[in-house]
Structure 1
Amino acid sequence: MDPDIAKPVSDVVYHKNPLTNGPNTEEVTPLKRCLVQLMSKTFGQAYFGSKRIGISLDGPEYASRAVPGGTSQFNPGEAEEVAWLCKHMLDYVPETTDEEPTRQVKPADIGISSPYAAQCAEIRRQLQRLAITGVTVQMLDITTGSQVQGREFEVHIVSWVKNNPGDPYDTGFITNPGQQCVLNSRARSFLISFGAYQLWCNNVANNIDQIAKKQMFYRFAKNFQETNQVIAKRDFLDGKAGLPVDTYHFQAVQLTGPQTMGQRGNRGGRSGAYSVVRGAGRGRGGPQQGGFNTPNQRAHGGWDKRGGRGRGNNNPRGGTTGQPIPKW
């Protein structure tokens, strides 16, 4: 596994005790040279030579939805871009020299994965529509996250699918730590990750990464951002259209507004999950210590510019001022 891929996995998954050794393959192979050359020519100044990149696809044109009559999610816009990039890699004939040999990407090099079976089916459909010369869909390995565990690919393309522009915190089960660990660690030479990185990194910039059970997911998003490995939607689309990309545009937005997100009240229970849809968080605490015969304490955190409100025997008035509410 290339260090560009292995080190973030170590730093994020094992952040309390990072791995000191592992199966890193720092060798510059002909395939890696080909892929770096291709990405540099396609995305110009938006690409810095890493063997791990995130591609940010956000907005209503890349919204996900459930299959009719089912629960599995798919994202037609994202699937179309995954299929295009796959074709772009397979069609590319790299420049080569005796000193720096390269080789063309082969179908057997590529693995495509998604947490959702419906997205795998949509990617197959989009690839069939493109009709790549000399390549059939059956020659490409397209699998769900649960099926890909224990396997590796020279080039791994991940389609995270989930994007709800109306609720930026709606991430479905893609935040599952097992999904994150597996899908971020299947590539030996090159990892390409499609997702709503603008929304996710905005959440990180506004301290939303503290949501329970989503911390690994947001640490991966933050790591992509901090290492300048996210290609902004505008840069991706310009590169796809063959237009020059002269600067790096991706940047998380520090959102501000007149309202703030309440924190839990003092001595209350654990605060509840933040929700744009419900507009409030609720938590319930346990009984007070010391054997007093008093009611359970509670904490309430809401979308309240005054901050959180706590309710309990020792805190009738409430908690601290919260964080800014994102404005999408």
Structure 2
Amino acid sequence: MFDKTDRKHSAPDTGPADAGPVTKDGSPEAGAPEAVFTPPEAIKAIPVRHPGRWVSGVIVTGLLVALVYAFAQGDIKWGTVGDMAFDGQVVESAGKTLWISVLAMALGVVLGVLLAVMRLSKNPVTSTVAWLYIWFFRGTPVYVQLLLWFNLALIFEYLNIPGVYKDEMTDVMTPFMCALLGLALNEAAYMAEICRAGIVSVDQGQTEASQALGMTQSKTMRRVVLPQALRVIIPPTGNEFINLLKTSSLVYVVTYGELMRTTSQIGSTSYAVMEMLFVASLWYIVMTSVFSVGQYYLERRYARGSQRDLPPTPWQRVTANLFSGSGRRTTPAGGTR
């Protein structure tokens, strides 16, 4: 036990000051002084300075200004770019580019899933065939594959299915068909590896548990494995589609009237080559930007199974900053951060 003398030398009390004499029930006596609470001093946080950020920001801004000034002073008819961006032929060719890309991607995804399952099969024949397909189409350029389909009539004069169909190869392999097969079959090779990686990422215990419940192998793949693999498959699939959308510019070699072919023809006849290249670039940027936004929200949806708290979307961050004033929050100590 400490006596009164020891209490004088003990650590000071950081709580409220002595409230004075109190009654038996704990309430202060009449005439007793009121308790005085001393709030803690505000914390003065000194921000860390980063001069390197300012220097790099100034340098990058200067380079951007110089680039914009150079293009503004260059011999480019920007009025022509604005007029031709929504020309009827250009808009129609942009629609053809989008259509061939969507069809080729859909066919590539379906064939890619099939190849991935074949690649993982325990049957050595199907596994080897899938591996050879992936090896060939990933090892040759898309440009060469398009030319092979376009000149297929030099090898086979007729497409003949005995008792079912017979026609000249030149009538079958139209520019649209050459473009579709060239893009889709090439994309299937890459989608096969993406789907295979997604399937392998699913824990083997999921398959074993499904089979223990009496599910067949195909039903296990459709109901258990593939739905869980989508979380891994979706992000690279979105990137593949954006890449395919730009790769579709190569189909001009098979005389398909897509965006790049149309703008090149208009530019060569009107002597506005650079202007039409800017028009084509503008359309590609718009289409890829739209699909990039869609990819972001699709990835966010499938990430709900692996993340408890999803980060806010860009729109949510913008609205939060708009409605939160200056964005400075008051700390319990009275300071701001």
Q: TM-score when scaled to structure 2?
A: 0.24
Structure with higher strand content: 1
Of Structure 1 and Structure 2, which has the larger fraction of its residues in helix?
A: 2
Q: TM-score, normalised by structure 1?
A: 0.24
